A and B are shown apart, each in its own frame.
Chain A
Amino acid sequence: MITDDEIRAVARLARLDLAEEEIHVQRAHMNALLERIAVIGSLSLRDTEPTAHCTALADVMRDDVAEDSLPRVALLAGAPEARDGLFIVPRILDA
Chain B
Amino acid sequence: MTSEYEAAIGMEVHAELLTESKMFCSCRNAFGGEPNTRCCPVCVGMPGALPVANRRAVEHVIRTALALNCSINAVARFDRKNYFYPDLPKGYQISQYDQPIGVGGWLDIETSAGVRRVRIRRVHLEEDTGKLMHLPAGDSAVDYNRSGVPLMEIVTEFPPDMRSAEEARAYLVGLRAILMYIGVSDGRMEEGSLRCEPNVSVRPIGSDQFGTKTEIKNLNSFRAVERGIAHEIERQIDVLRGGGKVRQETRGWNEARQETVVQRSKEEEQEYRYFPDPDLVPLRLDDAWVESIRSTMPELPDQARRRLIAAHGISEKEAAWLTQTPFHAAYFDQAVRFHNAPEQIASWLMGDFARLLNVTQMGLEQSKVTPDNLASLVRLVDSGQISGKMAKAIFERMFETGAAATDIAQEMGGQISDPQAIRTLVEEVRAAEPDVWDALRNGDTKKTTYVIGQVMRLSRGKANPQETRRIVEEMLAAPETAS
Contacts and interface: CB of A to CB of B under 8 A. Distances in A.
B263 A95 contact: yes
A37 B209 CA distance: 40
Interface string A47-77: 0000011110111111111110110100110
A18 interface: no
A76 to B, nearest CB: 7
A79 to B, nearest CB: 9
B141 interface: yes
B52 A89 contact: no
Nearest to A12: B271
Contacts of A57: 281
Given A61-B58, A69-B39, A88-B141, A95 B132 contact: yes
A24 to B, nearest CB: 23
Given A86-B142, A89-B140, A94-B264, A67 B284 contact: no
A66 B20 contact: yes
Interface string B262-282: 011000000101001010111
Contact of A89 (B82, B142, B263): B142
A87 B37 contact: no
A86 B141 CA distance: 6
Q: Is the interface of B mostly helix, strand, loop or mixed?
A: loop
B138 A59 contact: no
Given A53-B278, A64-B21, A64-B56, A72 B37 contact: yes
Contacts of B143: 86-87
Between A52, A64, A91, the greatest number of chain B beta carbons within 10 A of the residue's beta carbon is seen for A64
Given A87-B142, A94-B264, A66 B86 contact: no
A16 B372 CA distance: 66
A76 B36 contact: yes
Nearest to B284: A58
A66 B21 contact: yes
A59 B141 contact: no
B77 interface: yes
A91 B134 CA distance: 7
A90 interface: yes
Contacts of B40: 69-70
Contact of B284 (A15, A59, A78, A83): A59
Given A89-B86, A92-B132, A62 B53 contact: yes
Contacts of B281: 53, 55, 57-60
B37 A88 contact: no
Given A53-B278, A58-B281, A86-B133, A66 B273 contact: no
Contact of B144 (A65, A66, A87): A87
Q: Is the interface of A mostly helix, strand, loop or mixed?
A: loop
Contacts of A72: 34, 36-37, 39
A60 B39 contact: no
A61 B54 contact: yes
A83 B133 CA distance: 12
B141 A83 contact: yes
Contact of B282 (A52, A66, A83, A85): A52
Interface in B253-307: 263-264, 271, 273, 276, 278, 280-284
A7 to B, nearest CB: 14
A87 B26 contact: no
B284 A61 contact: no
B283 A59 contact: yes
A59 B134 CA distance: 40
A64 B60 CA distance: 12
A19 B357 CA distance: 64
B19 interface: yes
A40 interface: no
A59 B144 CA distance: 27
Contacts of B135: 88
A33 interface: no
B29 A66 contact: yes
A13 interface: yes
A57 B26 CA distance: 22
Contacts of A64: 19-21, 54-57
A71 B144 CA distance: 13
Given A81-B139, A85-B34, A89-B86, 13 more contacts: A61-B52, A61-B55, A64-B19, A64-B54, A64-B55, A65-B26, A67-B21, A84-B35, A88-B135, A88-B139, A88-B142, A90-B140, A95-B263
Interface of B: 19-21, 26-29, 34-41, 44, 46, 52-58, 75, 77, 82, 84-86, 132-135, 138-144, 263-264, 271, 273, 276, 278, 280-284
12 contacts: A13-B82, A52-B77, A58-B75, A59-B284, A61-B55, A69-B28, A70-B39, A72-B37, A81-B139, A85-B37, A86-B143, A92-B132
